[in-house]
């Protein structure tokens, strides 16, 4: 793994490079711990709206300009609905039905969808390593999301699929997390269009606010007892997920992206579910089945292969030339 920043050899810079992924992974654990005392849509809105305000304040201090045209606001609104409302809504609802670590693995499978969308929209090359990663990723997600009995009986006896089987599958948290990953993937692609009209840091702040408002609106209609049962420790966990898991994590991410280290950051994406799995096991006693652990391993390998496909292809090309 090669970091592009010349200062990246310094311990502090290395820690800061890893920090966003540590914060995202641990924020997932914090949110899971709060869910028994609140509601998912309300929690999703809490994570977005205050973080958006903090990012806009930081952008103002950095001298970032605000959106100037209706096209800028249109793209920010689309970005906010997809990467804010849908992503955080599916994520929060999925956390109710699955563990923080497993959910994080599903969320961070979004590079698979990004690769396919980039191939379709921007004709970006996937290559051998990318396709291998996509194949492993599909296999890994299947092992994580499909019921164990379906997989265990696949080679021994046919599985009789009933309406109840499909309902169980569709109601599972893993598939809600997959929908969240797809929303995040579309949002990742949308940022290319958003950046044509507005600074990405400012767009990130506004998209959190615009995306959070519908979540609170739906929470007021469909949910009750959103905050009445929250404890002081719950408030601290929500504050951590909002300030550190959203505002600071995204702020660090865009700071290093602006410094030319986006490739390095992408290669570190696989660390997010590692942190979530580790702390989910420590604090929430989350346990995965053996098949799900295999799926986690395949998914993490696939994410690495997709993020590093150009580097791997380059190393292979250099090796072949040296042999000639």
Answer yes or no: is pLDDT of 156 > 70: no
- The pLDDT tens digits for 115-150 are 677 677 666 677 788 788 778 877 876 777 666 776
pLDDT value for 283: 82
Contact 36, 30 (CB under 8 A): no
pTM: 0.74
Strands annotated E in the chain? none
Contacts of 153 (CB under 8 A, 6+ apart): 159
What is the tens place of the pLDDT at every residue in 87-123?
999 989 888 887 766 676 777 666 666 667 767 766 6
- SS3 at position 63: coil
Work out the percent of the chain whose per-residue pLDDT is above 90: 31
- C-alpha to C-alpha distances, 259 to 10, 71, 264, 309, nearest whole angstrom: 16, 27, 11, 22
Among the ranges given (154-158, 164-168, 281-285), the one the predictor scored with the smallest mean pLDDT: 164-168
Nearest C-alpha neighbor of 103 from the set 51, 37, 40, 166 = 40
Q: Which two tokens stand for residue 232?
A: 């002081």
Instruction: Identify whether the C-beta of residue 319 lies closer than 8 Å to the C-beta of residue 132.
Output: no
Q: How far apart are CA 202 and CA 243, in angstroms?
A: 17
The pLDDT of residue 74: 96
- pLDDT tens per residue, range 197-211: 998 889 989 999 999
Counting other chains too, the contacts that 7-16 makes at CB distance below 8 Å and 24 or more residues apart are 8/261, 8/264, 16/252, 16/256
Task: Give the distance from CA 111 to its chain's centroid.
Answer: 9
Report the chain's mean pLDDT, rounded to a whole number. Answer: 79
pLDDT single digits (tens) 221-272: 999 999 999 999 999 999 999 999 998 987 777 666 555 544 445 556 667 7
Which of 19-23, 66-70, 81-85 is predicted least confidently?
Answer: 19-23
Comparing C-alpha atoms, which of 235, 255, 223, 278 is closest to residue 101?
A: 278
């Amino acid at each position: 793994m090669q970091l592009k920043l010349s200062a990246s050899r310094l311990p502090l810079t290395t820690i800061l490079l890893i920090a966003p992924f540590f914060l995202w992974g641990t924020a997932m654990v914090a949110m899971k711990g709060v869910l028994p005392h609140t509601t998912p849509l309300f929690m999703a809105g809490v994570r977005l709206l205050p973080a958006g305000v903090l990012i806009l304040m930081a952008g103002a201090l950095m001298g970032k300009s605000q959106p100037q045209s209706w096209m800028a606001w249109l793209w920010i609104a689309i970005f906010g609905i997809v990467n804010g409302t849908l992503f955080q809504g599916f994520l929060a609802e999925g956390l109710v039905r699955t563990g923080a670590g497993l959910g994080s693995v599903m969320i961070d499978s979004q590079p698979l969808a990004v690769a396919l969308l980039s191939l379709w929209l921007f004709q970006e090359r996937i290559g051998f390593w990318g396709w291998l990663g996509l194949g492993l990723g599909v296999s890994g997600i299947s092992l994580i999301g499909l019921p164990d009995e379906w997989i265990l009986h696949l080679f021994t006896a046919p599985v009789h699929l009933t309406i109840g089987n499909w309902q169980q599958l569709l109601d599972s948290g893993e598939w809600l997390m997959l929908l969240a990953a797809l929303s995040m993937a579309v949002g990742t692609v949308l940022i290319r269009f958003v950046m044509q009209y507005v600074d990405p840091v400012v767009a990130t702040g506004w998209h959190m606010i615009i995306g959070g408002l519908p979540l609170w609106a739906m929470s007021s209609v469909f949910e009750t007892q959103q905050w009445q049962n929250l404890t002081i420790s719950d408030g601290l966990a929500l504050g951590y997920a909002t300030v550190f898991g959203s505002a600071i994590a995204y702020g660090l991410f865009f700071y290093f992206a602006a410094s030319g280290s986006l490739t390095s950051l992408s290669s570190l994406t696989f660390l997010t579910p590692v942190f979530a799995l580790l702390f989910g096991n420590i604090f929430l006693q989350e346990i995965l089945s053996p098949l799900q652990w295999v799926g986690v391993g395949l998914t993490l390998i696939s994410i690495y292969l997709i993020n590093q496909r150009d580097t791997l292809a380059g190393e292979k090309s250099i090796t072949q030339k040296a042999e000639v």
